[in-house]
Chains A and B, each alone.
Chain A
């Protein structure tokens, strides 16, 4: 089953590249994402707690992130269809055209992220993450505007330097395993964590530093986050949603799994404090940038930097379940917001916050989703994000880490002020008297996915189904003690 959900998107991605008919590609995109979702659900239903043997397998952590990625991709695929219908360029319809490369890369993206999530070998994981970089660059560059090309170039350069760092980290990890005194240790996360005591601590520390910087680049931790605002603001909206909601999680997984190796070696305070430090810097920098942001897609991108920082703080300070639950809420909300941002962009044809007003009158549904999404992303009470942030904060309090807690609260306050300043001016007020603002649109496929995602984030705040909560806890356990 695991091989099916990795290989099927890959093979159908090839179909996406070569099929000259748009309808075939679109049907492939939606049906493959549906099959992927069903496959993930069946893995979830059929007992995922089996021990992982070998290089590929599903523990609680894998199933959890598979679920998040799959749901987001399934809903995002409908938005992709809507996006492609609106943004058709001349000569972009046949095989190997711009549009077919887009659909093909989307499917390849699903395949590589799935492989990253289910792989338990450091080398396989690294290759999968490298693969995601390769297939997302054409997605970001889809519009071929100077801005989009520049963003794609920056993304390729910065992320591949990061990925090269992570490879150096993997090599250092392999070096540390040479000190085991004769017997071979396979480079799976599980084996390394189990034999943690036999690894050389100095090489292990170096390895984690490289891997944190490497995968942290991909995840969007400050100060290596500089590609993220450009890429997220220039990419098509469904792609931004997937980058923020799915890709960042995969890179986070790499850091968490490597961290568990260090925990096995008794170095948890080293990797914990290093990760928390990067997390705090991310939250504060994101807060500063959000306060002075003039474009709403960049605003959302910096919000991703902030939430990745929160995630790093959570995993570094041992708030496992809170961090996992936060990742879920963040992915849902950010997916919803980026998809809604696509609607806003197609209504107003601008990314500048200052030239948008009266959203609730122009498009009531999008306006409502916009407000609800921002309430959720800021961690206001009825939404799940509130509870996950409270869990992380109370865990920091229980550990008496007051400085980290204070910095986190300061960052959250800055983000809150910056975001609501922008949102209120966008949503309320008079609608500009532009002729190309249709009064009430009925683009169901464009409005429905963000509504569903936002609704789920709201429901999770009020009531978390027991199986889902069990999954969150199981994921936290497999993150803590692999």
Chain B
């Protein structure tokens, strides 16, 4: 089950390197969030307490439902469907993605695993998700794609701890706070959109429109 989810995560990550449609990007990020939360639940040693379970459920809800919904809303208000002006073309992006798969596998095989972890696969998909997100942030021009990239990167970091059996609650659960950031980002996207829309008008009128 765990192996299957990890393979699925790898495919989702690769898809994000290659797709030009922003809505498919958001859907991939939502799916990724759901997979990551399931993986975290599966990799907890000795079962989950009810508090931990509640925490995970909330995280899953935020990652897989709330944030994608907000992003779709932002997408509608921005009115774009495709990322048409990437810094790096889609074919090249796919090659970068394949390279990232190799790199993350190589790194996770090289690193010493802490006692109790026998499989470096979890670490390597976590690293791959981080790289995918990082790549989206630096290689896409649309603010909304950058925000999705940040969410993707954040999912990777969130999974990185459980993948190598870290159970320090403050470090692991602090990752949830990063979700807050994504929300702020999306608000920023909307503001940025407003800016572009009203660029030709005096900016002071923005405060008049508000009321």
A residues engaging B (CB < 8 A)?
Answer: 89-92, 98, 121-124, 126-127, 130, 133-134, 137, 141, 144-146, 149-150, 152-153, 156-157, 160-161, 163-164, 167-168, 170-171, 173-175, 178-179, 187, 200, 202-203, 206
Nearest first, the 8 closest Cβ-Cβ pairs linking A and B are A123-B170, A178-B114, A174-B166, A171-B161, A174-B168, A91-B207, A174-B171, A149-B195
Having A134-B184, A146-B203, A167-B175, one finds 13 other A-B pairs with CB under 8 Å, namely: A89-B207, A124-B170, A141-B191, A153-B188, A153-B191, A156-B184, A157-B185, A160-B178, A164-B150, A171-B171, A178-B115, A178-B165, A206-B111
With beta carbons under 8 angstroms apart, the residue of B115, B165, B178, B203 that contacts A145 is B203
A-B contact pairs, 16 of them (CB 8 A): A123-B168, A127-B177, A130-B181, A133-B181, A146-B199, A146-B203, A149-B195, A153-B188, A153-B191, A156-B185, A157-B150, A168-B130, A171-B157, A178-B164, A179-B115, A187-B168
Q: Which residue of A lies closest to B194 (CB)?
A: A149
Q: Which residue of B lies closest to A137 (CB)?
A: B184
The answer on a CB contact under 8 Å between A171 and B153 is: no
Distance between A293 CB and nearest chain B CB, rounded to angstroms: 25
Q: Roughly how many angstroms separate A175 CA and B166 CA in the complex, as a whole number?
A: 6
The answer on a CB contact under 8 Å between A98 and B207 is: yes
Q: Which residue of A lies closest to B196 (CB)?
A: A146
Distance between A279 CB and nearest chain B CB, rounded to angstroms: 24
Q: Roughly how many angstroms separate A98 CA and B171 CA in the complex, as a whole number?
A: 34
With beta carbons under 8 angstroms apart, the residue of A133, A149, A179 that contacts B191 is A149
Q: Which residue of B lies closest to A185 (CB)?
A: B168
The answer on a CB contact under 8 Å between B153 and A144 is: no
Q: Roughly how many angstroms separate A203 CA and B123 CA in the complex, as a whole number?
A: 13
> Which residues of the partner chain A approach B137 to less than 8 Å between Cβ atoms?
157, 161
The answer on a CB contact under 8 Å between B171 and A161 is: no
Q: Given contacts A149-B192, A156-B184, A178-B114, are A168 and B157 in contact (CB under 8 A)?
A: yes
> Which residues of the partner chain A approach B160 to less than 8 Å between Cβ atoms?
168, 171
Instruction: Please tell me the number of chain B residues within 8 Å of chain A, measured between CB atoms.
Output: 43
Q: Is B206 an interface residue (CB 8 A)?
A: yes
Q: Is B48 an interface residue (CB 8 A)?
A: no
Q: Is B134 an interface residue (CB 8 A)?
A: yes
> Which residues of the partner chain B approach A153 to less than 8 Å between Cβ atoms?
143, 188, 191-192
Q: Roughly how many angstroms separate A129 CA and B175 CA in the complex, as a whole number?
A: 13
Q: Is B84 an interface residue (CB 8 A)?
A: no
Q: Roughly how many angstroms separate A123 CA and B168 CA in the complex, as a whole number?
A: 9
Distance between A254 CB and nearest chain B CB, rounded to angstroms: 14
The answer on a CB contact under 8 Å between B161 and A174 is: yes
> Which residues of the partner chain B approach A171 to less than 8 Å between Cβ atoms?
157, 160-161, 164, 166, 171-172
Q: Roughly how many angstroms separate A203 CA and B208 CA in the complex, as a whole number?
A: 54
Q: Roughly how many angstroms separate A179 CA and B116 CA in the complex, as a whole number?
A: 10
Q: Which residue of B lies closest to A131 (CB)?
A: B177
Q: Is B47 an interface residue (CB 8 A)?
A: no
Q: Is B13 an interface residue (CB 8 A)?
A: no
> Which residues of the partner chain A approach B199 to less than 8 Å between Cβ atoms?
146
> Which residues of the partner chain B approach A161 to less than 8 Å between Cβ atoms?
134, 137, 150, 153
The answer on a CB contact under 8 Å between B111 and A202 is: yes
Q: Given contacts A153-B188, A157-B137, A178-B115, are A126 and B174 in contact (CB under 8 A)?
A: yes
Q: Roughly how many angstroms separate A390 CA and B127 CA in the complex, as a whole number?
A: 43
Distance between A30 CB and nearest chain B CB, rounded to angstroms: 26
Q: Roughly how many angstroms separate A130 CA and B170 CA in the complex, as a whole number?
A: 14
